[in-house]
Chain A
Amino acid sequence: MTDLTDFRQSADRAFELTDDELARLRRKAQFIRLETIRLIEIAKVGHYTSVFSAAELFAALYYDVMDLRFAEPKWPDRDRFMMGKGHAAVGLFPVLVEWGFFEREILDNYTRLGNPLGDHPDMRKVPGVDFSSGSIGHALSGGLGMALAGRMLGKSFTTYVMLGDGEMQEGQVWEAALSAAHHKTQNLVAIIDRNGYQLDGNVDDVIGIEPLADKWIAFGWETHVVDGHDLVAVTSLLRRLKADSTRTKPVCVIANTIKGKGVSYMETEPGWHLGYLDPEDAQRAIDEIKSKVI
């Protein structure tokens, strides 16, 4: 069963980033990693590596692909984004501040008593969060609802749903997968952060999910596999998907990533899914992130 597109080979050059755009997105991904370290220092616990695997995906979506309006978090025609892996919200909040959706002062009090920003995103409290999350497995259904409603309302926005790879173990994901294919929600794009790890270990040791691409293809989704840290590949794929008005299927992008990408000792130790770096170790991590080009 191979209906997979090797995107880099088939890509239209028109969708590729310029050198300047690439440099900018790399700075944004680095910013997301650094802000994550800064915010977790406030909370004294957090999901470093879940953000680090998705940093390029966040950067590509929020600084290149999605249609948003500065300081207008409720602009009705905006593209929507939600995360099944809501625990990576700490990497999203700084981005929402850059979009002018809420004040930096709020960010600087991350997780403090009464602050709207916690470990998981809450649409009721945080401007720019399109859907609450925290319970894994709901998001793709929420995205399906948004895609259906967008169509009913005659809107052309795209709904992006970032899913964890451990999340594939939730039954509701597959309910949504069946429904979305049946209802031909071509305006729905699921992006799986395939970083390989969940709390109890390697996803394939806990409850294996492979062959993952074949599953999505079998469920009727247009399926792509991409290196989730390759900003050129990710953006060209997402740009092309956005420009494609002929599609009749929802899209699944399997982004192969490295959990903890950017900090060497985190890349090899799954325990960093949740943890805390004391200031000295945090500085070493910051130095490493600043010294590398991903």
Chain B
Amino acid sequence: MNTAPLSNNSWQYRELNSQTPSLNALSDALIELVEKGEPIVAGTADLQYSNGLSKFAQLHPERFVQFGISEQNMVSAAAGMAAVGMKPFVATFASFLPLLCCEQIRMDVAYSALPVRLIGHHAGISLGFYGTSHHATEDLAIMRSIADITVVAPADGNQLKAAILASANYPQPIYFRIQRGRDPVVYETVPDFVFGKATVHLTGDELTIIATGSTVHPALEAARALNAAGRSVGVIDMTTIKPLDREAVLTAARNSRAILTVEEHNVIGGLGGAVCEVIAEEGIGVKVRRHGIYDEYSLIAPPTHLYRHYRLDAAGIESVALEVLG
């Protein structure tokens, strides 16, 4: 029987996902750490082809654990592995990890202060028409409210790689919020990375856009278009949501007339909430617009259609910025 695909346009997920650069970055970074002698172990819950850990698993099967569809078991077991001296990276959809496993993360990982790395992939609404069960628009708010865990949302594969490599000797547990592996490039090479330190891409005295993860690239495009039209718009990549780079926020709040936060997340409790807390506590009188998903469940559509609909693409962010600029 001929099992070859019927046409070049046909595809199957294992092959397709092996071509996604950010997901390769995850495996590549872990492979690099193992080969440096770090006690890395990677685990997943039946999603190795979705998160790209299949590449790691092929090269280092002795350091890979398949947990099957048992996410809570995976998180607690990762804590057990860390308690014995391993550095576990466990990955599943961002819709499952912080919601389904919230209590395991709080008890076994964060409260116990174990250096577990949780990778929530396909975050936000990037799973499009898979629907609400597969969307994660609450994960930042949930993870941010758990003590002693660092929350990071890299903007592309190179920054993800930088963050993973930087995590090797980082003492705290970390939640990495990543996308579906097809992120446009923000960083041409693997950048320097320090947890808790934002990257200022542009400064502007009219408006500063603070973006994180998937919204950094479109925010940059939007700002460049506005600046080309004579406006003065800055962009900060707030990769680390917790601990937040307060200085970067305060500098922007003092030097810009308005702040626009953009996140692929509910506007409640995530990046926008974190930025507002800092600005309000300092008593800085600057207008803040929180842009994202406005406390609702996403519609069904392909991801790019959703980004257009929710104004999370470059044109959408530009239009929101213009509303703020007035």
- Seen from chain A, the residues whose Cβ lies within 8 Å of a Cβ on chain B are 76, 80, 122-124, 130-135, 138-139, 141-150, 152-153, 155, 159, 171-172, 175-176, 178-179, 182-183
Q: Is the CB of A142 within 8 A of B79?
A: yes
B80 CB–A CB distance under 8 Å? yes
Alpha-carbon distance A142/B72, docked complex (angstroms): 10
Most buried by A among B70, B73, B107: B73
Partner of A141, one of B72, B84, B103: B72
Number of interface residues of B (CB under 8 A): 31
A-B contact count (CB 8 A): 113
Q: Is the CB of B41 within 8 A of A124?
A: no
- Which residues 107-122 of B sit at the A interface, judged by CB distance below 8 A? 107-108, 111-113
Q: Is the CB of A141 within 8 A of B39?
A: no
Alpha-carbon distance A153/B72, docked complex (angstroms): 24
Q: Is the CB of B112 within 8 A of A179?
A: no
- Seen from chain B, the residues whose Cβ lies within 8 Å of a Cβ on chain A are 39, 41, 62-63, 65, 67-68, 70, 72-86, 88, 103-104, 107-108, 111-113
| Main SS at interface, chain A | helix
Residues of A contacting B83 in the complex (Cβ-Cβ under 8 angstroms) = 80, 123, 130-131, 142, 145-146, 149
Partner of A138, one of B67, B76, B81: B76
Q: Is the CB of A144 within 8 A of B77?
A: yes
> With A132-B108, A134-B107 known to touch, is A153 a contact of B84 (CB < 8 Å)?
yes
Q: Is the CB of B77 within 8 A of A148?
A: yes
Residues of B contacting A133 in the complex (Cβ-Cβ under 8 angstroms) = 107
Residues of A contacting B107 in the complex (Cβ-Cβ under 8 angstroms) = 132-135, 138
Partner of B111, one of A124, A130, A155, A171: A124
Known: A80-B83, A131-B112, A172-B72. 4 other contacts (CB 8 A): A124-B112, A131-B80, A132-B107, A152-B41
Closest to B104 in A: A138
Q: How far is the CB of A150 from chain B (nearest CB, A)?
A: 6
Residues of A contacting B63 in the complex (Cβ-Cβ under 8 angstroms) = 152
Q: Is the CB of B103 within 8 A of A135?
A: yes
Q: What would be 13 A-B contacts, judged by CB atoms less than 8 Å apart?
A: A123-B83, A132-B112, A138-B72, A142-B83, A143-B80, A144-B77, A145-B83, A146-B81, A149-B86, A153-B86, A176-B76, A176-B77, A179-B73
